[in-house]
Chains A and B, each alone.
Chain A
Amino acid sequence: MDNKGGPGTADKACSAWSRLRGRALSRHRRVGKAAVAIATAAIVGTTGLGSAGAASTPTVNLTWWTMWSGATLQLLNQMVTQFNKTHPGIHVTETNIPSDATTSTAKLLSAIAAGDPPDIFTEWWPEIGSFAANGDLVAMGPYLTGQYAGFTKWEYPVAVQGGTYKGNLYAVPMSLNSWALYYNKGMLKKYGIKSPPKTLAQLDADQAKMWVTSNGRLQQMGFYPDVNGNGFQFYTSFFNATNCFNKAGKYDFEHCPGAQREMNWIASYAKYPYSQVMALQTAVGQVAGGQTDIWTRGLAGFVLSGPWEGAQNVPTSNPGMLGNFGVEAFPGTVPVPSTLGQGNFNIIPKGSAHPQQAFEFIAWLAGYHNEAFVGSIDPKGGWVPAGPSVTKAPAYQAWLKANPWLSGFLPQMTSPYTQAPALTPTQSQLFAAENTATNNVLQKIWTPQRALQYIDQQGNA
């Protein structure tokens, strides 16, 4: 068994050597073969490497980088298949880079710098300003002619606002987010609340009744500003604090009355146990790839969220909640309704070989001259489209009819109080700073004023 120590004497070893000579070779060959077989299986068995380019007609090949996984990824695949079917001259290949936004961003930037970027990239808006300022993006203006002349008029105004930097259009959303206050009807009833809150003070008072702790462990809560990663940023439109600049054009949240009101309101929730809320959120799940959260589990009275909450999360994770919830415009200090105009924007990185076709694909994804198809996909994702005409598509209308609670999400898209954050080169630093500020205020590490100073400092760096 144990021949590790090696043969004892040289003689024995020599004869062992002559015996081993023959065998060693065949053994080596077998090991080599096994390795090759595994390698081939891994390469051949799974992707059609090289099969994409095998078409006989000269097609334009586009690559699209996305960062979703799970159910959303399947929707994107459906859209790519449909596009390839209806556009014989163009073939889109989707590459999935599932990671947090900053990592995808770095991968995009290094691909641009190396001269090998994708043709289309989907980005949450915070980076678009810095990309555009650095000249990493193709401006879409030149393509807004012919059948695309009316494109920006076709979009919601916030979609245009969120995709424009210094007067040039750089990004088009394939879907927009719209935020409102979800409430749990059963919990309202249980705590004797007759109707959903119409004012901020009412929300604060109603939710306060719902916190339950047993044995020092949080079991149920009312409302908390920081669940699902919804920090300062997501409430700005309700306080008229989305775009706080001073006369010199610098961020100035510290002296912005709306921002002060908002941060003080967030600070009023510091009386609840931050760590326990985060732990509860991790235990029951968080929104990632369109999943679930404390509210969908029936463990929170209220949550700020978008249409996907009721359309996707509730049916998949807690069907018992269907019919037991309602949606109201979120009450802030500005008149209702309003919301933060924000979404999933498609951009064309500098260096794309086929920007014209890339734009064609982007406009198609948004639903431009493609209302019927996108109108049938958006309900599955719980998305608000980039332009109002998609909502007129029969499939979308049927969805709205079947889910009356959705009615609140569309009118606020055109409300004068709805804002998209102005694109700036430091938007992502600002966004990160706003999250840090929110966390630190809720953990009583910073005063609201200190937090706003930090946001300005990072945003203007």
Chain B
Amino acid sequence: MQATDSPPLPSAPPLPRAQRLSPSVHRRHTRAGLLFVSPWVIGFLCFFAYPFFATIYYSFTDFNGVGAAKFIGFTNYVNLFHDPLFRTSLFNTFYYTACELPLSTIAALGLALLLNMKVKGRAIYRTIFYIPSIVPLVASCMIFVWIFNPVSGIVNDLLTSAHLPAPNWFFSIAWSKPSFILLGLWGLGQPMVIYLAGLQGVPREMYEVAALDGAGPWRRLRYITIPMISPVILFNVVLQLVLCISYFTQAQVIENSDIGGPGTSTWFYVQYLYEQAFQFLKLGYSSAMAFFLFVVSGIIMVLLFRSSSRWVYYANEPR
């Protein structure tokens, strides 16, 4: 029973300190090591390094994918900052991220805390909590649009019978973004399981000592749980952030099927990038958008990691 609830996590034992190796052995090891990782090195050069520099190059050109790219200097960037749709899509992505990131963190952590309680049948609850996150994204879009349909959906049926206001969800400019956020909050299985594993790594004795000191559940959460799992929080926040910044599938499925997202109210950044690249073949312009995306997400990541030294606590690290 215990084993199913708390999987034995292989924690990496430190490798023996590198002994002084003779230079020839050292060379041999380096050659063997590089040979083993060479598939990834080739992949990295082809699928990250090359496209990264090519994106920068294309962003200064007028290019439709075939033939020569025409160098046009900063024109794409200038046009970008005068493009109202660029600003709209940037704002929408920011709005979504600013809401989804804290809400999903709280929700996933909350679910993990619930699952970490000592109750019978935890495995069943965990299964139910996890399943929404493996539902194919297109299918979850279908389900949400259907149950949130303002005219025939079950949600508004329940809301009106409870005499609560029934918004127009995916169909109204004011409610379409919150609808997408709800859709995002449905599939949090992955961060939830990661939080759960983190919670199970917190030593029980710490809670017992705190309880003896008279700390209530809230104080225990604030002063023990959260600091102890802060590396896991950082990890999940970073992954969610990457997902939020490149929010695409759900918005594209729902808008292109004309079943929600009125006007440009849920027109997200990479959707616009995708449209410019693959529908209008403005590869230079979309490369400028891609580079801008790269820079902005890079800055956010750096800020996040900088700030993390203040709030992330590593147990086995000297403070």
Which residues of A are at the interface with B, using a C-beta cutoff of 8 A?
2, 4-6, 100, 102-103, 105-106, 109-110, 113-115, 215-219, 229, 273-276, 278-280, 282-284, 286, 288, 436, 439-440, 443, 445
- State the CA gap A278–B148 with chains docked (Å): 13
1/0 contact trace for B229-267 toward A, CB 8 Å?
A: 000000000000000000000000000101110110000
Q: Are B66 and A443 in contact, with the CB atoms below 8 A?
A: no
Asked if B278 is at the interface (CB within 8 A of a chain A CB), the reply is yes
A280-B171 Cα distance, complex, nearest whole Å: 10
Extra 16 A-B pairs, beta carbons < 8 Å, given A113-B281, A278-B171, A278-B262: A102-B280, A105-B279, A106-B279, A109-B64, A110-B281, A113-B67, A114-B65, A217-B150, A219-B151, A275-B171, A275-B172, A276-B150, A279-B151, A280-B151, A284-B152, A436-B263
What CA separation (Å) do A273 and B173 show in the bound complex?
A: 12
Shortest B117–chain A CB gap in Å is 25
Q: Is the CB of A4 within 8 A of B278?
A: no
A274–B275 Cα distance when bound, in Å, is 26
Whether a CB of chain A sits under 8 angstroms from the CB of B160 is yes
Please report the C-alpha to C-alpha distance between residue A283 and residue B148 in the assembled complex, in whole angstroms. 10
Q: Could you jot down 27 A-B contacts, CB within 8 Å?
A: A2-B3, A2-B8, A4-B8, A5-B8, A6-B10, A102-B279, A106-B278, A110-B65, A110-B66, A110-B281, A114-B65, A216-B166, A217-B150, A217-B156, A217-B166, A275-B171, A276-B171, A279-B150, A279-B168, A282-B149, A282-B258, A282-B259, A283-B149, A283-B152, A283-B153, A284-B152, A440-B263
Q: Which residues of B contact A274 (CB under 8 A)?
A: 262
How far, in angstroms, from A280 to B156 measured CA to CA in the complex? Answer: 13
**Is the pair B279, A279 in contact by a Cβ cutoff of 8 Å?**
no
Question: CB-CB < 8 A to A113: which residues of B?
Answer: 64-67, 281
Instruction: List residues 56-110 of chain B with CB under 8 A from any CB of chain A.
Output: 64-67
B145 at the interface (CB under 8 A from A): yes
Q: Which residues of B contact A103 (CB under 8 A)?
A: 278-279
Question: In the complex, which residues of chain B have a beta carbon less than 8 angstroms from the beta carbon of A6?
Answer: 10
How far apart are A22's CB and chain B's nearest CB, in angstroms?
24
What is the distance, in angstroms, from B63's C-beta to the closest C-beta of chain A?
11
By the criterion CB–CB under 8 Å, are B66 and A275 in contact?
A: no
Closest to A102 in B: B279
Q: Does the CB pair A275–B263 fall under 8 Å?
A: no
Per the bound structure, the CA–CA distance linking A282 and B148 in Å amounts to: 11
| Chain B residues with a Cβ under 8 A of chain A | 3, 8, 10, 64-67, 145, 149-153, 156, 160, 166, 168, 171-173, 256, 258-260, 262-263, 275, 278-281
Residue numbers in B under 8 Å from A115 (CB-CB): 66
Q: Helix, strand, loop or mixed for chain B's interface?
A: loop
- Report the minimum CB–CB distance from B282 to chain A (whole Å): 10
Identify the closest chain B residue to A218 (Cβ): B151
| Top 10 closest pairs, chain A to chain B, by CB | A113-B66, A275-B168, A283-B152, A275-B171, A279-B150, A275-B172, A102-B279, A279-B151, A106-B279, A280-B151
Q: Which B residues are in CB contact (< 8 Å) with A282? A: 145, 149, 171, 258-260
Return chain A residues, CB-CB under 8 Å to B173: 443
B279 touches A443 (CB 8 A): no
Q: Is the CB–CB distance between B280 and A106 below 8 Å?
A: yes
CA distance A6 to B259 in the complex (A): 51
Chain A, interface SS category:
helix
B232 to chain A minimum Cβ distance, whole angstroms, is 21
Pick the contact of B160 from A109, A114, A217, A273 — CB < 8 Å?
A217
CA distance A286 to B257 in the complex (A): 10
Shortest CB-to-CB span from A110 to chain B, Å, is 6
Closest chain B residue, CB of each to CB of A103: B279
Q: Are A216 and B66 in contact (CB under 8 A)?
A: no
Which partner residue on chain B sits nearest A99 by CB separation? Answer: B256
Residues of B within 8 A of A436 (CB): 263
CB neighbours (8 Å) of A109 from chain B are 64, 281
Residue numbers in B under 8 Å from A276 (CB-CB): 150-151, 168, 171
**In the bound complex, what is the Cα–Cα distance between A215 and B161 (angstroms)?**
9
Which residues of the partner chain B approach A100 to less than 8 Å between Cβ atoms? 256
Indicate the member of B66, B153, B156, B279 with the most A CB atoms within 10 Å: B279
State how many angstroms separate the Cβ of A4 from the closest Cβ of chain B: 7
Residue among B145, B153, B172 with max Cβ neighbours from chain A (10 Å): B172
Chain B nearest CB from A217 CB (Å) reads 5
Chain A residues positioned under 8 Å from B171 (CB to CB)? 275-276, 278-279, 282
B184 smallest CB distance to A (angstroms): 21
- A216 neighbours in B (Cβ, 8 Å): 160, 166
For residue B139, give the distance in angstroms from its CB to the closest CB of chain A. Answer: 17
Decide: A443 and B65 in contact? CB cutoff 8 A.
Answer: no
Contacts of B280 in A (CB 8 A): 102, 106
Decide: B256 and A217 in contact? CB cutoff 8 A.
Answer: no
| CB proximity of B81 to chain A, nearest CB, Å | 17
Interface centre among B171, B172, B173 (most CB of A within 10 A): B171
Instruction: Give CA–CA (A454, B214) in the complex, Å.
Output: 66
Among A5, A113, A275, A445, the one with the most B-chain Cβ atoms within 10 Å of its Cβ is A275
Given the complex, which residues of B lie within 8 Å of A439, measured CB to CB? 262-263
B220, chain A: closest CB distance, angstroms? 31
| Closest B residue to A115 using CB positions | B66
Chain B residues with Cβ below 8 Å from A105 are 279
Inter-chain CA distance A443–B66, complex, in Å, is 41
Beta-carbon nearest neighbor of B150 in chain A: A279
Residues of the B chain whose Cβ atoms lie less than 8 Å from the Cβ of A288? 258
* Interchain CA distance A2-B153 in the complex, whole Å: 46
Complex Cα distance A193/B65, Å? Answer: 59
List the B side residues contacting A110 at CB < 8 Å: 64-66, 281
Q: How far is the CA of A286 from the CA of B259 in the complex (A)?
A: 9
Within the complex, what minimum Cβ distance (angstroms) separates A421 from chain B?
A: 21
CA distance A105 to B279 in the complex (A): 7
- Contact: B3 with A443, CB < 8 Å? no
Chain A: minimal CB distance from B8 (Å)? 6
Give Cα A439–Cα B279 distance, bound, in whole angstroms. Answer: 22
A440 to B171, CA, bound (A): 13
Query: Within the complex, what minimum Cβ distance (angstroms) separates B95 from chain A?
Result: 18
- Chain B hits for A114, CB < 8 A: 65-66
Residues of A within 8 A of B258 (CB): 229, 282, 286, 288
Q: How far is the CB of A317 from chain B (nearest CB, A)?
A: 16
Chain A residues with Cβ below 8 Å from B65 are: 110, 113-114
Chain B nearest CB, measured from A151 CB (Å): 33
A189 to chain B, nearest CB (A): 25
CA distance A273 to B171 in the complex (A): 11
Chain B residue with Cβ nearest A105: B279
Complex CA distance for A286 and B145, rounded to whole angstroms: 14
When distances are taken between beta carbons in the complex, the residues of chain B under 8 Å from A286 are: 258
